Structure 1
């Protein structure tokens, strides 16, 4: 995902708790459902004349399928929850308040960080998203994060006061396979380097041989505090269960400490196995349910939402004789994919390739069955488990999938999703799908946040700052950091010393 750096335009907030907070005022507005749909949807281009191209060229066009993202109802639940968590976390970390800076200066010390907890207002801090592999969890998270394109926000002046801070709105980290804290911290550092364009500075720091786990944890807390990390998204959270040395509790407690000490909300994404990680200890189970458990479920039979998804996907036919899917085709697709969106798109792509090669140039139920039998043999055990649809068989689904590397090579797509919202018909009509001239959504629709921010010229940034510019982090070297910031005009003297 491309990282964008911005200078903010501050927007006055209607909600009382969100007022007078530059971190919240710099965010995109709270979206309506229609605005959220426009921010999350992705529609690659397809034109009828492309179907006359050579077979080799059309094989390349099939790669556009990996960019198709159409929000479904559950996407809005995730978007609303992340929007609320992000802002709630910033409420208790307002950079115009002295308590926030005291927490930053002590972030690397776990005990001192805990001692500051009483100064901070409790906030909802966690969301757990679970579902079968291929059901759209990661695609959903990426779509929501795409609605916050300003991942890095550079502040300089807020309401006439110096505010030279860098705000890291969100960070997404994939949980390492061994589930260790050190591996997780290094991956965290790697993603921070990518976001901040630091040239690998943090990854090099975290890779030092003498860095103990407690030192890695402290450095991670310091980075999150210094750059005002808004929300942390951890994908593949079920991998924690593979950590044999200390069990899952160690990293779960670390994540709890991160939320407790710094009030950084955490979104954990994983398969159904991830839910079991939070049931061993009541504390973690309670926290996982504070903001909710959102489960991506698959329909056990054809429903309108799923039919609409297939009809929209069928827009992207590059065979020479396209046609809309009828009931027989929909039944066949459902049976061969068991309604898993990833499998639908994979079957659709491979069937088109087969139709191009054998010269039939059209999709039929028989062709899809041939494709399933010959090209998707690796998925047969997992799909058969879904067909059986018993508790026992469903529990084996993840174990029956090919190993990560083989599955990734087979799919070669990000995860795909379905849609049910009627108001999205104007963005992606269902009827007459194969004759629809689908245009790239980004190029034809103005997104709700466009025009609110401008890209940063990093080379000129310091030169453009007004006289008196200071790096707030230098306050840590002063005898009384709070008084130093008051004298510099960063913190108003009306804030009570504690």
Structure 2
């Protein structure tokens, strides 16, 4: 048994927490300002290191990769969510109460095999879903480390496990996850549960019962399940069984569960509305990448993040920050923090090794083209902004359009609308139609053109009819070549204009055409630069 820190009790912040040793032994509830200072990690750049040889300096630069964390609004929201889950989950598990040990006995005799078939939905279950590389796991681990993982209560002879983080196995196996659970318990407490409870002949149901018993015995504050999307690879019924168990765990023992995963995990919560609610009982968090606004070109959080990252330079004379460089990084990373940090580190290494001692556009572009080539398809998908394209990559943005496709195929009831509402509806219908065509296998370059053409010809048709029309046209056999005996009338081709199409700037008046091109930014006034 590892020697655990003894409990030090604090005054309860609110009346519900009074007389709860498990809650009052926790650190104080943090304000957003304290949380930001607590989570922020900025590696130190020593002046003496800036003159070291390149092959040594690049090792110092590696601090950028594992010692940089810039807290955002999402970090603050996540910290508040975890803080609430732990404390509210402990309310019904008071080790100072007279009925505490009786409740433990009830858990030990609970038939989890029967309960698993009919799990309730009143649970402290939540989720953090976001694309890979946005820092979900790093943020959660930083927040969990702000709490002692285990606390010993001498007055109650009780070992409290404040948090436990377990990674979902790649095969989505229930037994493998239970094994990971017991191993994590042993690492935290120095126990031997894995040796005692993991047997080759143990059934998944019996192991889940042991997980529940151990969770209750050590008052687990929050159970974090990372990479939850791996459950979708499990054998038939495995994912449903696992989700039912987690909900049962929270219902019977009141252990909050936090799921972490990529957008692929959303499919686990979609079969029924009840299961969708399971992942949002305590407030789910859409952990997105940094965003940009159309008006200003860059969101404030992205700008603050990039400026702070840009300061980590191991050059004698730092390369000045410019908006152009920030825009370039956005173009190549699309606001994914992990990729932005990696691109900055690799660009700086190349600048040092090549003797350039500064980061310029050419270096960043070459690094992106050569060393981040594997990321190009994903970045291109995000850059396109098309849901159908993004859906091809399970780890990217949350496929909101995929969640709406089924309802989009159902014709909405007819009701009078004003002109602006009608325009918005047409635009929304176009986006949904493009997404559906993408799922049908129509190329991303063709789908928008086909969808626009169909809507232009039949603007009042519902999505069912439009899809059927396009499918019918697609299945038509090619026309036979023309012969003298059977002349065919050629259909006149009509141009299909896209957004910001330069053909629309043309005018019969040459002066007007020039003014239009100048207004659109195609033509610039060179005299201003002379």
Please give the residue correspondences for 1:137-148 in structure 2 after superposition, counting only pairs within 5 Å: 137-148=136-147
**Equivalent residue number for residue 177 of structure 1:** 170
**Equivalent residue number for residue 149 of structure 2:** 151
Q: Is the CA contact (8 Å cut-off) linking 2:123 and 2:250 kept in structure 1? A: no
Rounded to whole Å, the distance in 2 between the matches of 1:206 and 1:238 is 26
The structure with higher relative contact order (CA 8 Å, sep 6+) is 1
SS in 2 for 1:344: helix
1:105 aligned onto 2:98: no
Post-superposition offset of 1:307 = 1.2
Please give the residue correspondences for 1:278-289 in structure 2 after superposition, counting only pairs within 5 Å: 278-289=269-280
Rounded to whole Å, the distance in 1 between the matches of 2:272 and 2:100 is 30
Distance change in 2, residues 1:395/1:4 (3 Å)? farther
**Equivalent residue number for residue 27 of structure 1:** 26
Q: Is the CA contact (8 Å cut-off) linking 1:381 and 1:400 kept in structure 2? A: no
**Equivalent residue number for residue 240 of structure 1:** 231
Q: Quote the RMSD (CA, aligned, Å).
A: 2.2
SS in 1 for 2:5: strand
**Equivalent residue number for residue 491 of structure 2:** none
**Equivalent residue number for residue 186 of structure 1:** 179
- When Rg is computed on C-alpha atoms for both structures, the one with the higher figure is 2
Q: Is the CA contact (8 Å cut-off) linking 1:88 and 1:124 kept in structure 2? A: no
Q: Any unmatched runs of 5+ in structure 1?
A: 116-121, 158-162, 402-498
Rounded to whole Å, the distance in 2 between the matches of 1:128 and 1:297 is 13
**Equivalent residue number for residue 260 of structure 2:** 269
SS in 2 for 1:351: helix
**Equivalent residue number for residue 352 of structure 1:** 348
**Equivalent residue number for residue 13 of structure 1:** 12
Q: Deviations over 1:322-370 (max 9, x none)?
A: 2232011111111011110000011011111111221101111111000
1:260 aligned onto 2:217: no
**TM-score relative to the length of structure 1:** 0.74
1:316 aligned onto 2:312: yes
Q: Is the CA contact (8 Å cut-off) linking 1:241 and 1:277 kept in structure 2? A: yes
- Count of paired positions: 385
- The structure 2 residue matched to 1:292, chosen from 262, 266, 283, is 283
1:369 aligned onto 2:365: yes
Rounded to whole Å, the distance in 2 between the matches of 1:9 and 1:241 is 42
Moved over 6 A (4+): 112-115
Q: Is the CA contact (8 Å cut-off) linking 2:160 and 2:218 kept in structure 1? A: yes
Q: Is the CA contact (8 Å cut-off) linking 1:107 and 1:113 kept in structure 2? A: no
Post-superposition offset of 1:69 = 1.3
**Equivalent residue number for residue 425 of structure 1:** none
Q: Deviations over 1:176-200 (max 9, x none)?
A: 11112101100111111111123xx
Post-superposition offset of 1:49 = 2.2
- The structure 2 residue matched to 1:216, chosen from 207, 214, 230, is 207
1:41 aligned onto 2:40: yes
Q: Any unmatched runs of 5+ in structure 2?
A: 116-120, 398-530
Q: Is the CA contact (8 Å cut-off) linking 1:114 and 1:260 kept in structure 2? A: no
Q: Is the CA contact (8 Å cut-off) linking 2:93 and 2:100 kept in structure 1? A: yes
